[in-house]
Chain A
């Protein structure tokens, strides 16, 4: 690969893989923080001012998929899912690279599959014009969003596969546990 081609490839990876992951991760963080604030405001509103936030259960319920699925591409990029790495010590370097390739390929396939099923689910929601109980939000929008974000996670995993092919990644990372 020439230097120019390599440069273009890394820009492509950055634009399609890393940057969207980071932007989405920011959105996820924002949702989490707002969720915390809303809960706090609701409880203080209820006990101090006798006026809780209306429909908060529903708002928080529908914030959850945003929180979970927006950060998913970043978790996938960092290979942050729970794995059993018991046999890592027995594998040679080449096998580890092959393992990283296969595992990310399987992960990518699984996320595409989940994305497809959620898209189908969204189509059903759309067909029956389903809305939420309190705020009459259109549910298909949320299921579609989950499908699209799962697809983004699949893209992130696909770039991991490429990294293992090109040798940019050589070892699947050790499962980071400190925050769990």
Chain B
């Protein structure tokens, strides 16, 4: 127990000193295992874990979904999505912010990454909102928050990682993410309306568009819809495995980008480099996290946690609330992937022991990770916006995003309280 706590302190100290989280986890994991179980086992474990993590068919779904997201981003499908949402919502007060959120939701259906969604949508939505005199905080906040939907609405790289860590069906996890994702959109739209009611000047209405043009604008989104139906329908109907769906999705997105002439040779190479780099970064964290988890499993820490949880067998909700609070706090500091990889191996046995559904817990973890992407001081989506919009102060974006993460807390409460919202669709997956 003491050793595990020292391990956590060492990990946090190294990470705060800016040692890459992956390397911190490798080092602490190795020395921890050596102290807990001898040097020989620890040395063998490092080679074995690095080898096994890299040579893994199941995990090949990760680079392929990342590639798909990056091709989709370059195919500029985001522009049509925004135009269509704008045609329907833009004339309302706060309508452009609402259109931003809806198009972020749509983009999330073909892109598995929150930060890519935020970065892509910011280029499309921000100029329009600035043109209509939107408050920059509200505008940037709606993009940062809307972007978080990327990891919940399938395909989602985070859900894939969770599925592989916990041996849960990725197809079911994807299906489970759809309704909570839609609830997320609805709650964000409500948040915009609340903000606008309080101060209408923050989001003046845009132009009203005729119904003929609205219908016309819908034709532009067929690309996104086709890709989504193909990939998700394939998994949902049991036609493709997730890896196959990812490969097909990436190929489809590639064809879209080529046919729309948005893919020069230079951009094509950039997409591949970006996707491969992200994959390598992700796998390094994965190897580190597995080593760290192996170390923790050699200590008495997991048993102690289970024993504590056992005391609450009559009120398992209290354990879930405690886990949620830990996640909210960790989310303020940790990057999302590292947080999931560090905590899921610890909490998952607890959650299973208490009889909760693994698929539901996966959705809860991802929703809470979404919140971590927009909460200060380390809200990665906010930092993405800061990078794309250098003239908007970080503090202003954090201020603009506040109504959204309050909405997220409500959404979290709803999803935790009503597991059926996450578990209904997966019951149809073959």
Contacts and interface: CB of A to CB of B under 8 A. Distances in A.
Interface of A: 25, 28-29, 32-33, 35-40, 42-43, 47, 57-58, 60-65, 67-72, 74-75, 78, 80-88, 99, 102-103, 106-107, 110, 113-114, 117-118, 120-121, 142-143, 146, 150, 172, 174-180
25 contacts: A35-B247, A39-B244, A39-B246, A40-B247, A60-B243, A61-B55, A63-B60, A65-B55, A67-B276, A69-B280, A71-B273, A75-B284, A81-B285, A83-B18, A83-B19, A84-B378, A103-B20, A113-B46, A120-B43, A146-B50, A174-B383, A176-B387, A178-B384, A180-B116, A180-B380
B247 A117 contact: no
B142 to A, nearest CB: 18
Interface string B46-76: 1110110011110110011001001000000
B299 interface: no
B333 interface: yes
Contact of B333 (A29, A72, A86): A86
Nearest to A180: B115
Contact of A80 (B18, B113, B281): B281
Contacts of B63: 32, 35, 64, 67
Contact of A62 (B50, B55, B254, B275): B55
Contacts of B54: 64-65, 68-69, 146
Contacts of B67: 32, 36
Contacts of B276: 25, 28-29, 32, 67, 70-71
Contacts of B14: 106
Main DSSP-derived SS at the B contact region: helix
Interface in B314-338: 333-335, 337-338
Contacts of A61: 55-57, 60
B281 A180 contact: yes
A84 B278 contact: no
Name the residue in A25, A87, A174, A178 with the highest tally of chain B Cβ atoms < 10 Å from its Cβ.
A178
Contact of B273 (A25, A42, A81, A83): A25
A33 B254 CA distance: 10
For the complex of A and B, list the 6 residue pairs with the smallest distance between their C-beta atoms, beginning with the closest: A39-B247, A81-B20, A117-B47, A29-B272, A121-B47, A65-B54
B26 interface: yes
B277 A110 contact: no
Contact of A86 (B23, B57, B283, B378): B378
B250 interface: yes
B76 to A, nearest CB: 16
A118 B383 contact: no
Interface residues of B, number: 71
B2 interface: no
A143 B55 CA distance: 10
A103 B392 CA distance: 31
Given A39-B247, A106-B23, A179-B277, A29 B50 contact: no
B64 A82 contact: no
B8 interface: no
B426 to A, nearest CB: 23
A27 B247 CA distance: 19
B297 to A, nearest CB: 19
Contacts of B333: 84, 86
A39 B231 CA distance: 13
B418 interface: no
A110 B338 CA distance: 18
A82 B285 contact: yes
B138 to A, nearest CB: 22
A178 B20 contact: no
A106 B380 CA distance: 25
A147 to B, nearest CB: 9
Interface string B67-91: 1001000000000000000000000
Contact of B116 (A25, A99, A175, A178): A178
A60 B247 CA distance: 11
Contacts of A71: 273, 276-277, 279-280
Given A32-B275, A39-B64, A68-B54, A114 B26 contact: yes
Contacts of A88: 18
A32 B239 CA distance: 23
B16 to A, nearest CB: 6
B176 interface: no
B250 A179 contact: no
Nearest to B52: A121
A36, A70, A117, A180: residue with the most chain B Cβ atoms closer than 10 Å: A180
Interface in B271-297: 272-285, 287
B65 to A, nearest CB: 11
A76 to B, nearest CB: 9
Contacts of B274: 179
